[in-house]
């Protein structure tokens, strides 16, 4: 069995008097895609923000490769190669595609060196050929799907050991959303990238994931292998409807 790379233990997070996470515990193993499932407001985004240091829990631990990173500054966590690609893409619209990608490598540029950065860039362009075609184009002028690819590719340039992806297909046309999810699967398969994924299309996310956790009102209510969750009648009833094939 692959080694556990990310471990969340009894995590509690609040927004003032509102308890957003109530004792969340989960594990992510190396080279896995793990899907976080649940309705809007369940606490999924809060969990990713807490792992990446944007929020500080008032109880619980986050361990990365055995090191306690709970409540650490986001810069510290990025340097540990835990990379968060937030929802709504958030590319630097007034910079070119190429400059956005170089910014992804900012934290390790000096230690990696220019030659290796260029090699990493070519690997990214092989995976996202449309970005190579548009590399001198301003990021803000790309289509929604292309901006999402750029956001993920920028995360890949950070050489992640764990990639936290929050709603990567939000607002995209179905055919583009399918392409983005296929790219995430290819990242995992070819690069060995470990992924913790929030995705609105629960069926599609479970089809590319290895395991999943169902979150409701800040608590994990179910977990298991991806196919088992797809086959689970309670999950179908609550999240997938009756037309799941």
Q: Indicate whether 149 belongs to any domain.
A: no
Q: What is the pTM of this model?
A: 0.91
Say if 20 falls within a structural domain. yes
Number of domains in the chain: 1
Q: Which of these, 210, 1, 197, lies nearest to 87 by C-alpha position?
A: 197
| Any domain includes 96 | no
Could you tell me if residue 122 is inside a domain? no
For residue 175, what are the domain limits?
A: 4-86+160-240
Q: What is the DSSP letter of 2?
A: P
Query: Does residue 118 belong to any structural domain of this protein?
Result: no
**Residue 148: partners with Cβ closer than 8 Å, 6 or more residues away:** 89, 168, 169, 172, 176, 180
pLDDT tens over the chain, length 245 residues: 679 999 999 999 999 999 999 999 999 999 999 999 998 899 999 999 999 999 999 999 999 999 999 999 999 999 999 999 998 888 999 999 999 999 999 888 777 778 889 999 999 999 999 999 999 999 999 999 999 999 999 999 999 999 999 999 988 889 999 999 999 999 999 889 999 999 988 899 999 999 999 999 999 999 999 999 999 988 888 776 543 33
Q: Is residue 120 in some structural domain?
A: no
Tell me, yes or no, whether 94 lies in a domain: no
* 144 in any annotated domain: no
Are the beta carbons of 11 and 21 closer than 8 angstroms? yes
CATH, residue 17: 3.40.50.300
């Amino acid at each position: 069995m692959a080694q556990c790379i990310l471990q969340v233990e009894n995590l509690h997070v609040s927004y003032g008097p509102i308890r957003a996470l109530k004792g969340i515990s989960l594990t992510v193993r190396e080279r896995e895609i793990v899907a976080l499932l649940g309705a809007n407001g369940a606490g999924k985004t809060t969990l990713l923000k807490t792992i990446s240091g944007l929020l500080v829990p008032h109880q619980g631990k986050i361990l990365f490769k055995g090191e306690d990173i709970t409540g650490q500054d986001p810069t510290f966590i990025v340097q540990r190669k835990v990379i968060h690609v937030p929802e709504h893409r958030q590319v630097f619209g007034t910079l070119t595609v190429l400059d956005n990608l170089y910014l992804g490598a900012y934290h390790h540029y000096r230690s990696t060196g220019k030659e290796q950065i260029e090699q990493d860039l070519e690997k990214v362009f092989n995976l996202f050929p449309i970005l190579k075609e548009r590399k001198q184009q301003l990021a803000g002028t790309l289509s929604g799907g292309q901006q999402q690819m750029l956001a993920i590719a920028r995360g890949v340039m950070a050489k992640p050991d764990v990639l936290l992806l929050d709603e990567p297909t939000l607002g995209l046309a179905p055919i583009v959303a399918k392409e983005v999810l296929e790219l995430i699967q290819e990242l995992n398969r070819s690069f060995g990238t470990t992924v913790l994924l929030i995705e609105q299309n629960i069926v599609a996310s479970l089809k590319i994931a290895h395991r999943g956790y169902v979150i409701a009102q800040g608590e994990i209510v179910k977990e298991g292998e991806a196919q088992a969750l797809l086959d689970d009648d309670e999950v179908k009833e609550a999240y997938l409807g009756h037309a799941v094939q």
